[in-house]
Structure 1
């Protein structure tokens, strides 16, 4: 139990540090800051890919869905456009759109979810199952909470 809690705390701290470099327009609007829902790609406005010269402009938009399974309530931490921590009722699902901009088009953008612990059928606590789906394709899952890493993460490119 102590190792699980320590591991989840370490992973959460790492995810927080990883997300510190993300851009934020300062609008304070959660998922919508920097990555607007329903926004169109700026690259389409300039034929021939001129919007991509020098790494500036916008890339393709990706629809990202984070899911955490199980029953009851737990704390989760997730990174989409910024870092978020919430107390949620399971099962939980969050869908948002991320458009890669500037250097993100070249190096990528990490999305992740760190689920809290849930009680299994044997009465033991373990990481809740999680999945990440990007544009309709499952790209990450923690094997029902049994994977070595109790989280799900994916690098959007």
Structure 2
């Protein structure tokens, strides 16, 4: 339970810090990554020309059900039937986003191991088809996190 609470705190902290620390104008709440992806390479709010798009997939592997906390196009917690997958296109539109990146993460809940104990479910993050983060098949109690640049 402590690991889930710590993981949740990390996800929330990551999501709060993702929008902090730059001099860029704030993006209105209705401008999701999908809405930004439809901008078609037009200059961003800071005068940046073009945008960089990345297809990001979060996965939690295993069987049964588990809580899944994730930060992708939204910050959310779901009770999911495993295996679970969420894919979205992340659009980096400003110079700051291109330089610093946007954090994405997934915190898998616990699942029963073969010996009857509970362990974290396996998680994987892929960007443009390349695996960039995992928790070693659930052997690590760390969440999967990555900064998309």
Fold match, TM over 0.5? yes
- CA deviation profile, 1:90-112 (whole Å, cap 9, x unmatched): 01011110001222111111110
- CA deviation profile, 1:5-44 (whole Å, cap 9, x unmatched): 21221121121122024466333xxxxx4211762542xx
Tell me the SS of whatever aligns to 1:75: strand
Q: TM-score, normalised by structure 1?
A: 0.79
Tell me the matched-pair count.
Answer: 140
More helix by share: 1
| Equivalences for residues 82-121 of structure 1 within 5 A | 82-102=74-94, 103-121=96-114
| Counterpart residue number, 1:68 | 60
- CA deviation profile, 1:33-58 (whole Å, cap 9, x unmatched): 4211762542xx5xxxxx47957455
CA RMSD of aligned residues (A): 2.3
Deviates more, 1:56-65 or 1:9-18: 56-65
Q: TM-score, normalised by structure 2?
A: 0.82
In the alignment, structure 1 segments of 5+ residues that lack a partner are 28-32, 46-50
